Amino acid sequence: MQEGIVSSVKERRKIHPHKFALWIAMGSIAMMFAGLTSAYMVREAQGNWHYFKLPPIFWVSTVAIFASSITIILGLKAFKERRMTAYRALITTTLILGVLFGILQYEGFVQLYANNIRIDGNPADSFIFIIAGLHLLHILGGIIALLIVFFRAFRKRVKVYNTTGLEIVASYWHFVDVLWIYLFVFFLVNQ
């Protein structure tokens, strides 16, 4: 009897393979951005560096992605409690906020470009476009995952209340949120 309980506890402690893969991917992505921001600081120390202010729209985009992390937390909670109407509303809101973040980021880069900050200009300009552009690609991946969750949320009925897929999407979305906040603070400090 005790053997069955022990094996049951051990079984529950195992991490789902998809979650494990996500953690490996997030670790790799974090290392890539750590390397890029380190290269930014090394190149900055060499001189011939162009300092600039980020347009205020980046503050608004930061609020949008932070709010989307809150809505996905609440959406996951609603799904676990089988409150499907609330879940659908919260996932829709998360998706809208994610898309809004992308649009605001794009507009911010249009403003930078209008202020003569170009990818082919000073190395500082190139770094911001490359780093933030790579982040935006990861956001696009998150938006695609949110779209899948969104369409699944509006199916006629849910057959299985398995939270694994939603937890994976939520974890990734929180990761790109935290990653943007890190990058945003990094760029603010290094203006």
CB atoms within 10 A of CB 188: 12
Q: Select 19-189's CATH number: 2.40.30.10, 1.20.1090.10, 1.20.120.80, 3.40.1830.10.
A: 1.20.120.80
Residue spans per domain, the chain: 19-189
- Above 80 in pLDDT, residue 4? no
Prediction pTM value = 0.85
pLDDT tens for 69-86 read 999 999 999 999 989 899
Residue 75's pLDDT is what?
Answer: 95
- How is residue 93 written in tokens? 């809101």
Helix or strand or coil: residue 1? coil
Query: How many angstroms from the chain centroid is the CA of residue 127?
Result: 20
The answer to whether 135 and 34 are in contact (CB under 8 A) is no
The answer to whether 102 and 39 are in contact (CB under 8 A) is no
DSSP string, 10-27: HHHHSPPHHHHHHHHHHH
Cα(138)–Cα(93) distance, integer angstroms: 19
- Above 60 in pLDDT, residue 110? yes
If phi over 0 gives left and psi between -120 and 50 gives alpha, with beta otherwise, what is residue 101? alpha
Mean pLDDT of 61-70: 96
pLDDT tens for 125-165 read 888 888 888 998 999 999 999 999 999 888 877 667 788 88
Amino acid at 184: F
